[in-house]
A = this chain, B = another copy of it.
């Protein structure tokens, strides 16, 4: 009984996600869904990415949080259209919440929509939003056992950004193990090693995004 309820919710969500996706495609909009544990660096990555790309690419942002408007304020301060979704307790965004924000954006003026999901390495992986790509961040401070413990997120994500590599000298974490275990779960995954603090490794990520924004137009 419980399983059928969950399946109904997921199926209803996929219908809405498909409708969102159709609208994004019609507008030549690239949409990415950014996911991670709390504090892995989603908003910091977004700030760096906006600073680097905003002169050539028109970006919009949807910020997902249970409560607070802290992240949307950080993004809006860069002159980027940003809409905050407060889930009021729910642990992930869904297609319907995304659809509710559409009236706040003019998609014709945008090239890239970034959705920052609620900080959670589990539930967001199950809910499609209509995005082109799921992108995940893992901080080296979380340890190198995360692919085997949270496999769905690694399975669903097209890109893994391993963040905070500036802290590698101070933590027990093997980059090689993270990469090997991630690719075992998802052999097509693209992996970047980055530090949002020092900027190291971010050029590859920017290029990955630039190429795909061009294709979607």
Copies in the complex: 2
B118 near A120: Cβ-Cβ < 8 Å: no
- Find chain B residues with CB under 8 A from A89 CB: 126, 152
A38 near B91: Cβ-Cβ < 8 Å: no
Chain B nearest CB from A152 CB (Å) reads 7
**Within A97-125, which residues are at the interface with B (CB < 8 Å)?**
118-123
Chain B nearest CB from A73 CB (Å) reads 11
- Whether a CB of chain B sits under 8 angstroms from the CB of A23 is no
**Within A140-195, which residues are at the interface with B (CB < 8 Å)?**
141-143, 145-146, 148-152, 164, 166-167, 170-171
Chain B nearest CB from A9 CB (Å) reads 7
Question: Could you tell me how many residues of chain A have their Cβ less than 8 Å away from some Cβ of chain B?
Answer: 37
B68 near A148: Cβ-Cβ < 8 Å: yes
A39 near B143: Cβ-Cβ < 8 Å: yes
- Find chain B residues with CB under 8 A from A148 CB: 67-68, 70
- Whether a CB of chain B sits under 8 angstroms from the CB of A20 is no
- Find chain B residues with CB under 8 A from A142 CB: 37-40
- Find chain B residues with CB under 8 A from A40 CB: 142
- Whether a CB of chain B sits under 8 angstroms from the CB of A66 is yes
